[in-house]
Structure 1
């Protein structure tokens, strides 16, 4: 998931079960507390997954929506609205049987058509979320996204109310894993028809089929509430009555709110987290995500030069960044592929480790490459614009990068623009940047989740990275997906090609520091995807 932009990291190795239990032990809440207070780093601009995709939105949707499947405590998919599925012998057709007692928060029945409605909206070329590519392997999805076919031709259909049939272009061993993602959640067809473009812009224009339903929210709210959904099919498993959200961008403020009891789970980073190393409430969550710099490689852009991009890559001291600037347990990252997604079958190593290049920091070589690249451009000086969000962490990382690059690469000036996430994204989407401090959190347990975002036609490929070799390897991975070893060999070659082209500057892996109420239990701390509070309770 592209984040606009929450970059938080963790410090201290404490067991999840010590602070917030790995799973619901089935006991009723005994403290009497049934309200959970959470924070987000930005507003939820829409609850329509075809309109936007952000961590605040997906965090909220995971608590309030139910898809075909949900993730259990081991990050494995388990039935939600679907009760079972059948896969055809060729691996290309999935038939899902839906539960008959799933209802929307307004009392409407959740039907197979509700999935068809949502997926057709999500794959449309008019979808603004940038996530239409996630439907790619479903029959006709690519042609629809390119405007060559109508959305109704998507290979998904409702057979009656409770049977959903999905046709794929190629076998896909991780297809069920993807079904836990909010991008595949349903939408109430009746309300979509009634409200049109208003759907998902305010609580009153939206319905929810999950554990909670959102109230008192519009797309500019800095505070919103979710209350227990009386129509949820598994409402007996839900112990909380209310979840309160508030936007908190500053780490120190988050800490203060936690101390005051206004937050039960506060995400902290930087110097705030450094001072909390011995806190009994601190829990680190290693997530399968990378913080990196996206590079504008568009034709005519300064960094279309491979020599300059390679110089930037070699000039950044990631050890110093993680240990002295962040100083909170974060680890250097040298590949776009994040750890904790999957293991490489050939080596048995974490995929990110198996794909790591040999040379990652060499100032002398960086200077040499920079000089050659500048000579080829016929320039002695150049100014690069670094765009980032206005969170405390992003400001600190931006200042570090500015200092590192200007001090090591002669003739370089870096102009930093720390902006609200929406403003920063708008600049990037319009190509008005050179460097963009970003993050990708894997949507499901597969390196392909992030690697595909750099394909030539992917909507998240803001920097216009174009490599026929890279695109070919990912294409081969899709076509040979029935064999896991072959599949991963192509993914590894794709990452190795990226190591040669330098379309991004990997910085550090995503680790979150959470200050957690010691009485909060039952939270599912997912390395892949969003944290799930739907079965949480207070002891």
Structure 2
């Protein structure tokens, strides 16, 4: 998913949600707040919430909210394994791996009391896969029968290979085996929607908390569509009440890491994400916890014809000019690690080699200023560019993104020479518009894995993917991805060979420049328990509690 997911995985990206609880005014973290309540906590996000409609928007802030208020067929357990959600059990496919039949819990209900039905999944998926969907995530349904043709506007969404056999039985038919299909079912993109509520509000569905209902442990309350604070209130109709300990989760937007630290120090937050200078001074703090996520922060380079970075040598020069060790150690200083491949470390082990996929695919050369300068000059000649090259770097307006943007701006100027980079640090919506319109040379973003397979990263860079905002197009890359998801899907050896080919092409073409792996620095109240920090997907606070 992306940092501005629209991305998750795969799903753009913006920074992670952090958990916090109200504490007492004496300034000691971990103590109960003024209400002496241990059944109420607060969540902090570092950027704005834009929508609650998973068919027409997709970014990390929204998915974080949906993760804690909705539930799909499956959820992740505390061991990061797929576990039953609205489906009664994790099912095995039939028909040679192409048919999944899910039996839904008969006691699953929406927060307004409506039954959760198979039709709620069918209608939600049809909205999301449609060529009219604005989420940029309709591609994630690829592999389900007719999904690609629907996304391309050639078939009606009603032709999708998902049908309600009866009120509580959902059948999904695939075009080919998808060994990662069960892992995908935890994604908010596949969450159901109350059909009656969608019909009632139409295009206004999910534009505020009064125009949406939830089937998870909590329901969203108090979000007007523009404000920066809201609540998640316990859903009295959730099927597993014993698993939920909290009555309320308060959520607010806090964009500055220093502000988050100060709130934590005052006992007003129980979990604060810190970055940059703030994080640098806290790395030995007893309350610090590093949360490793299968995500890669990277520069998306605009490969479109007419753009300077359409030239491969210029893109290669940018990558070799960036000292990722300096970036992570001295600029971020939050436990983040250098990234040299688009696919995140720790995402998946290549079963044919027994090695971490990202580690085995790391390029031999990752930082070489002299070679970068040479490639830059060669690329300028090939692209017929003279004088100073003016480039625009777009990023979000939070502190971490600003710091990274300034680093990239300075290091490329110093190591490449005749280049001037203008930075634009924008709110989520404005950044999204820039992305969609291709109004950038560099775009600083994150892809946080939706499921544990490299395909989740690679798919958004395929030729016709709606999230391929950098207009990357490479015949060998596209061929490898097509083979991996069709002819070689059930052949483990051939599948992973395709995955290695895809990463090799990215290493050579550099349509994206990996910067660092996602490692969150959290200041955590030791009394906060039950949070499931998943390396793949969003963090789950629905089982959280505060020790008395």
The counterpart of 1:461, out of the listed 463, 468, 473, is: 468
CA distance in 1, matches of 2:354, 2:471: 33
CA distance in 2, matches of 1:446, 1:174: 7
Aligned to 2:360: 354
Aligned to 1:71: 76
Q: Is the 1:287–1:528 Cα contact (8 Å) retained in structure 2?
A: yes
CA offset at residue 119 of structure 1?
Answer: 0.3
The counterpart of 1:517, out of the listed 502, 513, 525, is: 525
Aligned to 1:390: 397
Query: Is 2:495 the counterpart of 1:487?
Result: yes
CA offset at residue 194 of structure 1?
Answer: 1.1
The counterpart of 2:178, out of the listed 172, 183, 194, is: 172
Aligned to 2:447: 440
CA distance in 1, matches of 2:169, 2:207: 29
- Residue pairs, 1:134-149, within 5 angstroms: 134-149=140-155
- Residue pairs, 1:4-15, within 5 angstroms: 4=4, 5-7=13-15
CA offset at residue 431 of structure 1?
Answer: 1.0
Q: Is the 1:9–1:512 Cα contact (8 Å) retained in structure 2?
A: no
1:339-362 deviation digits (Å, cap 9, x = unpaired): 121101232111111111111111
1:368-418 deviation digits (Å, cap 9, x = unpaired): 111111122332321111111111111111111111111121321111111
Q: Is the 2:15–2:60 Cα contact (8 Å) retained in structure 1?
A: no
The counterpart of 2:108, out of the listed 73, 87, 102, is: 102
Aligned to 2:44: 39
- Residue pairs, 1:336-355, within 5 angstroms: 336-355=342-361
TM-score normalized with structure 2 length: 0.93
C-alpha change, 1:9 and 1:356, in structure 2 (3 Å) is: farther
- Residue pairs, 1:500-515, within 5 angstroms: 500-515=508-523
Aligned to 2:24: none
Query: Is 2:311 the counterpart of 1:277?
Result: no
> Aligned to 1:285, what secondary structure does the other structure show?
strand
Q: Is the 2:16–2:61 Cα contact (8 Å) retained in structure 1?
A: no
CA distance in 1, matches of 2:192, 2:311: 44
CA offset at residue 32 of structure 1?
Answer: 4.8
Q: Which moved more, 1:166-175 or 1:80-89?
A: 80-89
CA offset at residue 425 of structure 1?
Answer: 2.0
CA offset at residue 259 of structure 1?
Answer: 2.1
- Residue pairs, 1:31-430, within 5 angstroms: 32-84=37-89, 85-378=91-384, 379-430=386-437
CA offset at residue 6 of structure 1?
Answer: 3.7
CA distance in 2, matches of 1:243, 1:380: 55
Aligned to 1:537: 545
TM-score normalized with structure 1 length: 0.94
CA offset at residue 182 of structure 1?
Answer: 0.6
1:500-531 deviation digits (Å, cap 9, x = unpaired): 11101110000001112211111111000011
1:97-130 deviation digits (Å, cap 9, x = unpaired): 1110000000000000000011001101111111
C-alpha change, 1:86 and 1:367, in structure 2 (3 Å) is: closer
> Aligned to 1:415, what secondary structure does the other structure show?
strand
Note the aligned Cα RMSD (angstroms).
1.6
CA distance in 1, matches of 2:92, 2:376: 56
Q: Is the 2:17–2:44 Cα contact (8 Å) retained in structure 1?
A: no
> Aligned to 1:59, what secondary structure does the other structure show?
helix
C-alpha change, 1:288 and 1:386, in structure 2 (3 Å) is: same
CA distance in 2, matches of 1:231, 1:209: 8
Runs of 5+ unmatched residues, structure 2: 5-12, 19-28, 31-35
CA offset at residue 235 of structure 1?
Answer: 1.2
> Aligned to 2:115, what secondary structure does the other structure show?
coil
CA offset at residue 86 of structure 1?
Answer: 4.6
C-alpha change, 1:8 and 1:38, in structure 2 (3 Å) is: closer
C-alpha change, 1:359 and 1:86, in structure 2 (3 Å) is: closer
CA distance in 2, matches of 1:499, 1:376: 20
1:288-314 deviation digits (Å, cap 9, x = unpaired): 000000000101111111111111111
CA offset at residue 7 of structure 1?
Answer: 4.8
1:173-201 deviation digits (Å, cap 9, x = unpaired): 11011101111000000111111111111
> Aligned to 1:497, what secondary structure does the other structure show?
helix
CA offset at residue 436 of structure 1?
Answer: 0.6
CA distance in 2, matches of 1:58, 1:524: 15
> Aligned to 2:249, what secondary structure does the other structure show?
strand
C-alpha change, 1:312 and 1:9, in structure 2 (3 Å) is: farther
CA distance in 1, matches of 2:493, 2:273: 38
How many residue pairs end up in the alignment?
521
CA distance in 2, matches of 1:246, 1:485: 47
CA distance in 2, matches of 1:50, 1:238: 27
